[in-house]
Amino acid sequence: MARLLPDPTFYPSPRMAIEAPTETLAYVALLSSGENGMKDALGVVDTNPDSADYGTLVGRLDLPTAGNELHHFGWNACSSHLCAYAPNPHMERRYLVLPGTHSSRIHVIDTHPDPRSPRLAKVIEGEEVMAKTGYAAPHTVHCGPDGIYLNALGGPDGDGPGGIFMLDHETFEVRGAWERDRGPQHLAYDFWWHLGHEVMITSEWGTPNMVRGGVNPELLLAGKYGSALHVWDLRRRTHLQKLELGAEQQMVLELRPAHDPRRSYGFVGVVLSLKDLSSSIWTWYRDEQTGTWATRKVIEIPAEPADPSVLPPLLKGFGAVPPLVTDINLSLDDRFLYVSCWGTGELRQYDVSDPFEPRLVGSVHIGGIVRRTSHPKDADRPLNGAPQMVEISRDGQRVYITNSLYSPWDAQFYPDGIRGWMAKLDVKPGGGIAFDKEFLVEFEDGLVPHQVRLEGGDASSDSFCYSE
């Protein structure tokens, strides 16, 4: 039966979402290689500091298979359902949609009636996804006003082009490919939108054949991984502009648009510069005079010199650890940008009140290829992996991080094997971050954590139609 009132976790504006109740649970994608009979899973972590179970795994749904390579899952419904041009206020933020990049399989998880005990509602097999869309290797899920959007890294043969397809947000039926005219776009990765401008932005990584075996040095040095952004007409599904960052800028990954729908800018992270192994953050923005879109590099993070004897084989010849910026996230008030440096083991916090002049205001270290920095809860024990996926609470006061990137790349950069953990940081009002000394979730059975979603939504799960 249709709801008579909108889901209480839908918020017309970022300001109203910031004032929402504090999350008490976090859902975490847990990946398994299948060794020891372990399956992929969805973990449930208690995030309520008043609970006796705080900072522990209080629920786990084992999926039917292993090796799916679960990645950026998302909610079936969100605040964009309140948009006037495509209203769906009867929807519930109830189901989590988990894409498997290696299997092309999609799991739909029901978090009701008991949020601590989610259950499997539906499995869409990879063969169906490929047959109905022409795509394979789904990676990221975003809830949109008119359906569930997913990206895909390539086609069933493992080559390009990659792109976007949709699911019906009520039946989860596969609708098919999204693009009507892709123009020069070939590589794919993340996607987001500016609903007020009816524009979508997409980024580039590589096709399944380019990434499944780990970083390919020949492709990397030849500048064959993604190096551009693409701008699309969201309604017409047609390509408008290609924004080239330069062939030396390799792997243009996570997109974070401003949450305020009046603003027409956002941030994107670049994993590696071929010039000096640095990572960078770029701002994309709309030129109000010409109506076209442009980019500007606003942050550069240098590589750190290191003894080759302690580096993985891929990096020994360079004698340095690259930052490897693999995720970024923007607080709902558009003030703080968090940047995960998965190589050096650093999480950085920038004040981006001026999106063209970011200021570094906070930094912590944990893990890292060389540092292996411990957590305050067990200061004498080194940790591996590093800040990778970053999720922010709606009020911006808490930041959650996990340490696994992508199984083939985990093995290249951390050949001793990722030991999975999840940590939490508290945010100081004027800037600055510090670890919650009591919150360190360590995952057993060889499971490693990737994407985190918070109960009721989080900083990267919703888009908004109104500014106030």
Per-residue pLDDT of the chain (468 residues; tens, 9 = 90+): 455 578 999 999 999 999 999 999 999 999 998 888 899 999 999 999 999 999 999 999 999 999 999 999 999 999 998 886 666 668 899 999 999 999 999 999 999 999 999 999 999 999 999 999 999 999 999 999 999 999 999 999 999 999 999 999 999 999 999 999 999 999 999 999 999 899 999 999 999 999 999 999 999 999 999 999 999 999 999 999 999 999 999 999 999 999 999 999 999 999 999 999 999 999 999 998 999 999 999 999 999 999 999 999 999 999 999 999 999 999 999 999 999 999 999 999 999 999 999 999 999 999 999 999 999 999 999 999 999 999 999 999 999 999 999 999 999 999 999 999 999 999 999 999 999 999 999 998 899 999 999 999 999 999 998 887
User: Would you state the structure tokens that stand for residue 57, as one six-digit string?
Assistant: 């795994």
Burial class (CB in 10 A: 0-12, 13-18, 19+), 271: buried
Domain covering 14-454 in this structure, CATH number: 2.130.10.10
- How many CA atoms lie within 13 Å of 360's alpha carbon, on the beta-carbon side? 11
Domain regions of the chain by residue span: 14-454
State the DSSP string of 144-158: ETTEEEEEEEE-TTS
Q: What is the reported pLDDT for 1? A: 44
- How many CA atoms lie within 13 Å of 397's alpha carbon, on the beta-carbon side? 10
Q: Which residue has the tokens 């899920």?
A: 141
Q: Is 16 left (phi over 0), alpha (psi -120 to 50) or beta?
A: alpha
Cα(274)–Cα(278) distance, integer angstroms: 8
Q: What is the reported pLDDT for 85? A: 63
Q: What is the reported pLDDT for 34? A: 82
Cα(193)–Cα(198) distance, integer angstroms: 7
| DSSP three-state, residue 117 | coil
Burial of 257-268, coded b for 16+ CB within 10 Å and e otherwise, reads bbbbbebbbbbb
Average pLDDT over the chain reads 96
Q: What is the reported pLDDT for 3? A: 53
The sign of the dihedral angle between the CA atoms of 358, 401, 191, 242 is positive
Q: Is the peptide bond before 113 cis (omega within 30 degrees of 0)?
A: yes
Cα(359)–Cα(107) distance, integer angstroms: 40
User: CB of 291 within 8 A of CB of 335?
Assistant: no
